[in-house]
A and B are shown apart, each in its own frame.
Chain A
Amino acid sequence: MDFTFLMQLLINGLVVGSIYALVATGFVIIFKSSSALNLAQGEFLMVGAYICLYLVLQHKVPFIAAFVITMLFSALLGIVIERTTLRPLLGSPVISVIMATLGLASVLRALLQIFFGVDTIPFPEIFPPEPVHIGPVPVSIGYLYSLCCVAVLLTALTAFFKYTKSGLAMRATASSRQTALSMGISVKKVFAMSWCIAAMVSAIGGILLGAIRGGVDMSLANMGLKVLPVVILGGMDSIAGAVLGGLIIGLLENLCGGYLDPLVGGGVKEVVPYIALVLILMVRPSGLLGSRRIERM
Chain B
Amino acid sequence: MRERIALMIKADMGLFHSKKSLAATVSFLVCLMFVPVYGSSYVLDVVNRIGIAVIAALGLNILTGFTGLISLGNAAFMAIGAYSASWLAMRTGINFIFCIPVAGIITAALGMVVGIPSLRLRGLYLAMATLAAHFIVEFLAVHWESVTGGVAGLTISSPTVAGFALDSDRTVYYLIIPTAILSVLFVSNIFRTRVGRAFIAIRDQEMSAAVMGIDVFKYKLISFALSSFFAGVAGALMACQTRIITPENFPISIAIDSLAMIIIGGLCSVIGTIFGAVFLTALPEFLRLATTALAGSFPELIGKLASLKELVFGLLVILFLIFEPHGISAIWQRTKNRF
Contacts and interface: CB of A to CB of B under 8 A. Distances in A.
B290 to A, nearest CB: 15
> Of A265, A270, A274, A282, which is in contact with the most chain B CB atoms at under 10 Å from its CB?
A274
A267 B322 CA distance: 40
A114 B325 contact: no
A278 B129 contact: yes
Interface string B91-134: 00000000000000000000000000100111111001101100
Report whether over half of chain B's contact residues are helix, strand or loop; otherwise say mixed: helix
Given A106-B310, A106-B317, A281-B117, A295 B125 contact: no
A102 B256 contact: yes
B136 A275 contact: yes
Contact of A91 (B125, B310, B315, B325): B325
B318 to A, nearest CB: 4
B142 A267 contact: yes
B32 to A, nearest CB: 29
Interface string A262-290: 00110110110011011001100111000
A83 B256 CA distance: 25
A179 interface: no
Interface stretch (A50-58, A59-67, A198-206, A225-233): A225-233
B70 interface: yes
B143 interface: yes
Contact of A89 (B124, B125, B322): B322
Interface stretch (A14-22, A93-101, A139-147): A93-101
A89 B314 contact: no
B217 interface: no
Interface string B299-328: 000011001111101111110011001000
Interface footprint category on B: 35 or more
Report whether over half of chain A's contact residues are helix, strand or loop; otherwise say mixed: helix
B314 A281 contact: no
A160 to B, nearest CB: 23
A270 to B, nearest CB: 7
A239 B88 CA distance: 48
Contacts of A265: 143
A232 B139 contact: no
> Of B124, B267, B303, B309, which is in contact with the most chain A CB atoms at under 10 Å from its CB?
B124
Interface string A187-208: 0000000000000000000000
Contacts of B304: 114
Interface string B42-76: 00000000000000000000001000001000000
A236 interface: yes
A132 interface: no
Contacts of A152: none
Interface string A91-120: 111011001101111111111011001100
Nearest to B140: A271
A281 B131 CA distance: 13
Given A100-B317, A106-B313, A275-B136, A95 B70 contact: yes
A277 B128 contact: yes
Contact of A113 (B129, B143, B310): B310
> Of A93, A108, A110, A285, which is in contact with the most chain B CB atoms at under 10 Å from its CB?
A110
B159 to A, nearest CB: 32
A88 interface: yes
B263 interface: yes
B236 interface: no
Interface in A220-272: 225, 228-229, 232, 236, 264-265, 267-268, 270-271
A286 B125 contact: yes
Contacts of B125: 232, 236, 281, 285-287
B321 A285 contact: no
Contact of A271 (B139, B252, B259): B139
B175 interface: no
A268 to B, nearest CB: 8
A236 B315 CA distance: 28
A232 B135 contact: no
> Of B206, B208, B321, B325, which is in contact with the most chain A CB atoms at under 10 Å from its CB?
B321
Contact of B311 (A102, A110, A285): A110
A104 B132 contact: no
Nearest to B120: A285
Given A95-B263, A102-B260, A113-B310, A293 B122 contact: yes
Contacts of A109: 310, 314
A284 B188 CA distance: 37
Contacts of A268: 139
Given A267-B142, A282-B120, A286-B125, A99 B321 contact: yes
Nearest to A99: B263
A236 B128 CA distance: 11
A41 to B, nearest CB: 14
A51 B113 CA distance: 45
A265 B143 CA distance: 8
A285 B132 contact: no
B272 to A, nearest CB: 13
A41 B89 CA distance: 42
Contacts of A102: 256, 260, 317
A83 to B, nearest CB: 12
A104 B318 CA distance: 7
Given A99-B264, A107-B315, A275 B321 contact: no
Given A232-B128, A285-B125, A100 B139 contact: no
B146 to A, nearest CB: 14
Shortest Cβ-Cβ A-B pairs, 5 listed: A106-B314, A103-B317, A110-B311, A274-B132, A107-B314
10 contacts: A89-B321, A102-B260, A103-B314, A103-B317, A225-B252, A265-B143, A271-B139, A277-B129, A281-B128, A293-B123
Given A91-B325, A95-B263, A282-B120, 6 more contacts: A96-B263, A113-B307, A114-B308, A274-B131, A281-B121, A285-B122
